[in-house]
Every structure is written in C-alpha cells, then in structure tokens.
C-alpha cells in the first residue's frame, strides 16, 4: 500500500488559532500499511520551501485552504509550506508534524486574513493536505481533502451570553426571562449546527452560520 495522509484539527478557545495535526501514523506492515516510512514516503524527506532541487526523494508538505464565510463569500489562500511554519529544521519525529496557525498565516493576493491577534474567519474551510515533489508541485505523492466548520467567533459570543445567565437569574428586581431564553436558544442552535456539520450541504451550513450571527446580534422573532 502507498501513503495515505490523514489530518485532524482543533480550534483554540479564543478563536484566534487553529491547530492541524498529522494523524497518518508510522508504517506498520500489519496495523498501518499506509503510514509514513519505508516502503512508503518518509517524513524525513520533507524539505524547506526554498529547496526546489530534487535529489531523488525530497518532498514538500503543503496546506491549501479556501474559506466560504457566512455571507457566502469564498477566498482561496496561498499554499502554506508546512516545513516553513515555525521551522526549527527537518522533522525529527512524527510528533513534530503539528502546526498552530493564526489569521496572519493565511494570505491571498498579498492580503492576510488578519493579524495574529485577529479572530479566524468563521465558515466552511475547504482544506487540502498534500505531499508533492519539491521540484514539481503538480507531481502529487498523496493528498487529502476535507471540509470543516470553523465557528469560533460565534461560539465566543454564545458562551459569553451563557455566562450572563446566573447574573440575570439572580437579579430579582428585573425580568430577564427573554435574555435567558435567547441565550439558551443561541446555544441550542450552535450545538445543532455543529452536529449537522458532517451531513449538511455547504450551503446549508453557511445559511445556519448566517442565521446564528443574526440571532446573536438582533435576537430571535420569538415573543417568549
């Protein structure tokens, strides 16, 4: 069997970072014959983006990202050479195949998604993780494509609303029942959207994301 890349991701709680971790694993003839290592491609052969002279087996490990936001606007960002992200040299172990990226890492036409202190764009992230020959990126050793829902920005707002519930509930002089119900509705919608992420069409998820943004900014139409 040949190499079959695998990749996992997680969002930071502050919605400013996304962590990508290679989960391909090491080659094992019995348990993982599509992992890194002979007779498959070696992660030790991955080289810097500036190294474009192929001496036999050198490769580049790339991340390609396109984001469709809540307004249904799509932006395709430049390929990221993962060797060059906070590089301390050649990968010495599989544990080093993990990368923490922020908005400044995603650049399109010379313009970054934001600074390292900005929130990542909520939306459907179309992610391609690929290993290519370092002198010819059209010669693909293996690639993985997956779409993930990034919703850190709205999640922060929803959880901020939830943290206000105890204060509102304990305030006996005012009736905050609508605020409490709106907070619970936003949370329910958020969890429903996340639960739908693996089965819904991209257009449906974008609509859900837009609706949740509208809900937390303007409130719902319920009278409660």
In a domain, 223, yes or no: no
In a domain, 130, yes or no: yes
Number of structural domains the chain divides into: 2
> If you write DSSP's letter for every residue of 162-196 in order, what string do you get?
HHHHHHHHH-TTS--HHHHHHHHHHHHHHHHHHHH
CA-CA-CA-CA torsion sign (128, 101, 97, 86): positive
Residue 20 φ then ψ, to 5°? -105, 130
210 confidence band (pLDDT: 50, 70, 90): very high
Q: Do 36 and 105 share a domain, yes or no?
A: yes
Q: Do 145 and 160 share a domain, yes or no?
A: no
Examine the fold and report which residue of 150, 185, 206 is the final residue of a domain before the chain moves on: 150
Examine the pLDDT at 167 and tell me if it is beyond 90.
Answer: no
Average pLDDT for 54-71 = 95
Q: Do 109 and 187 share a domain, yes or no?
A: no
CB within 8 Å of 44: residues ≥ 6 apart: 90, 91, 92
In a domain, 224, yes or no: no
6 three-class SS:
coil
In a domain, 201, yes or no: yes
Is the CB of residue 135 less than 8 Å from the CB of residue 54? Answer: yes
For 67-85, how does the pLDDT look when each residue is reduced to its tens digit (9 = 90+)? 999 999 999 999 999 999 9
Q: Do 142 and 59 share a domain, yes or no?
A: yes
**Residue 89, CA distances (Å) to 43, 46, 218 in order:** 13, 10, 49
> What percent of the chain is modeled with pLDDT above 70?
96
Helices 177-196 and 202-218: crossing angle, nearest 10°?
170
Q: Do 101 and 173 share a domain, yes or no?
A: no
Q: Do 22 and 114 share a domain, yes or no?
A: yes
Hunting for tokens 């799509």 — which residue is that? Answer: 74
Helices 177-196 and 152-170: crossing angle, nearest 10°?
150
Q: Do 178 and 138 share a domain, yes or no?
A: no
pLDDT score at 66: 98
Examine the fold and report which residue of 118, 150, 182 is the final residue of a domain before the chain moves on: 150
In a domain, 108, yes or no: yes
In a domain, 2, yes or no: no
pLDDT score at 150: 96
Helices 202-218 and 152-170: crossing angle, nearest 10°?
40
Which residue segment(s) compose the domain that 162 sits in?
Answer: 152-218
Examine the pLDDT at 175 and tell me if it is beyond 60.
Answer: no
Examine the fold and report which residue of 127, 150, 173 is the final residue of a domain before the chain moves on: 150
Question: How many C-alpha atoms does 22 have within 13 Å on its Cβ side?
Answer: 26
Count how many residues are written for the chain: 224
Range scoring the smallest mean pLDDT among 37-51, 123-137, 164-178: 164-178
């Amino acid at each position: 069997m040949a190499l079959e890349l695998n990749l996992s991701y997680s969002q930071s709680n502050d919605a400013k970072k996304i962590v990508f971790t290679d989960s391909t694993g090491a080659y094992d003839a019995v348990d993982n014959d599509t992992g890194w290592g002979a007779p498959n491609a070696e992660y030790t052969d991955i080289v810097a983006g500036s190294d474009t002279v192929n001496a036999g087996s050198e490769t580049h490990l790339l991340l390609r990202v396109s984001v469709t936001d809540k307004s249904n606007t799509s932006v395709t960002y430049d390929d990221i050479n993962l060797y060059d992200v906070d590089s301390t040299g050649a990968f010495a172990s599989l544990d080093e195949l993990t990368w923490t990226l922020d908005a400044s890492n995603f650049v399109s036409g010379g313009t970054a998604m934001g600074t390292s202190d900005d929130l990542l764009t909520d939306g459907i992230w179309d992610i391609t993780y690929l290993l290519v020959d370092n002198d010819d990126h059209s010669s693909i050793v293996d690639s993985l494509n997956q779409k993930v829902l990034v919703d850190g920005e709205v999640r922060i707002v929803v959880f901020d609303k939830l943290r206000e519930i105890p204060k509102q509930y304990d305030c006996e002089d005012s009736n905050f029942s609508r605020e409490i119900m709106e907070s619970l509705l936003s949370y329910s919608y958020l969890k429903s959207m996340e639960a739908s992420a693996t089965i819904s069409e991209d257009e449906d998820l974008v609509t859900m994301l837009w609706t949740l943004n509208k809900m937390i900014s303007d409130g719902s139409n319920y009278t409660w």
